[in-house]
Amino acid sequence: MCRKLPNIQTIPARQSKLPNPMKKFIILFWFIISQSALAEVRTWKTADGLKSIEAEFISTRDGEVTIKRKSDLRLFTLPISKLSAEDQAWITTQKAETSTPAEVKEPDPALVKLITGKWERHEAHGMKFRIFGERKIRRAKKDTYPMVIYLHGRGNDVMTPEEPGNANTFTNDSKNPCLVIAPQSLGVDGWNGSNADMALKIIDELIENFPIDQKRIYITGYSMGGFGTFEFLAMKPKLFAAGVTVAGGASPQNAEKLKDIPIWAFHGDADESVKVDSTRNIVEAIKKLNGKIKYTEIPGGDHGIADQVYRDKEMHKWLFEQKRAE
């Protein structure tokens, strides 16, 4: 029921007693209050019903949902599969309501300039990286293109004047034009922690600015980058369509996270720098779970098998055939 508001006497602007900063504060305060009222706060529950949280829906992507807790406005990103059936259904409805019509975002001009048909250098989110894309990618209106992320090994520098090593083999694949990026790690402690966070932010930004086929985002790496490839796949299993690891490895404890992702692992049985068991163990663990992993062990191969693997046409063919399921 609506109540009749009392008559309010307006004060002419010249007679206002409020200092100008105070007016701005009041206007901003009421704006924040009105916007908060528009947000829908709901109760989210875990699949087992044991935990719940009062929070506002923010966004959903790659099998995860981001929510803002009502009590302290903290953001949480949760796997959708861990939520109740009711919450999962609500998210599905929300996606359907917000997916169309989508506003077409104009790409960042600074990024567009990097697509020249040559290897270019850039820095974003605190990390340097090299990027390659044919000029037609920047002009594309309807077509979409795969993206390949190459993670270098310990001590390698992809920012030198030369082309970035084996990442360059993906630029020569005329049957599969794609966007290729090679991030430069900070230090030699591996592709984890802040290195992983920065690289993933770069990947997200490129996806937002270029016509990327989001069902065909691939990752590969050699040595430290091979470990990093397993790490990224375990962190973001819904982002990548497939991965290729060379002379790397992973903890068998990650097998459950990796089992549903197509992976082709390579290792030389005579590798003295990274023992072959680093790959054998994770391959065996994934196979026990009936996972989607291929393994090629190169007889007599040492730690220098990268050139052989990255020039393998069958590997390229297999990789670009992989598509992420819905």
Over residues 210-263, the pLDDT tens digits come to 999 999 999 999 999 999 999 999 999 999 999 999 999 999 999 999 999 999
Which parts of the chain register pLDDT below 50? 1-16, 18, 29-38, 99-104
Could you state, in order of their start, the residue ranges of all structural domains in the chain? 40-94, 109-321
* 129 alpha carbon, distance to own chain's centre: 15
Identify the CA nearest to 246 among candidates 288, 286, 302, 204: 302
Q: Rounded to an integer, what distance in angstroms lies between the CA atom of residue 310 and that of residue 247?
A: 12
The CA–CA distances, whole Å, from 25 to 13, 33, 72, 267 equal 17, 12, 22, 63
Return the pLDDT at 107. 77
Q: In the chain, what are the helix, strand and coil shares in percent, each to the nearest 5?
A: 35, 25, 40
CATH class of 109-321: alpha beta
- pTM, two decimal places: 0.71
CATH tag, 40-94: 2.30.30.700
Q: Rounded to an integer, what distance in angstroms lies between the CA atom of residue 326 and that of residue 324?
A: 7
Whole-number CA gyration radius for the chain: 25
Over residues 284-323, the pLDDT tens digits come to 999 999 999 999 999 999 999 999 999 999 999 999 999 9
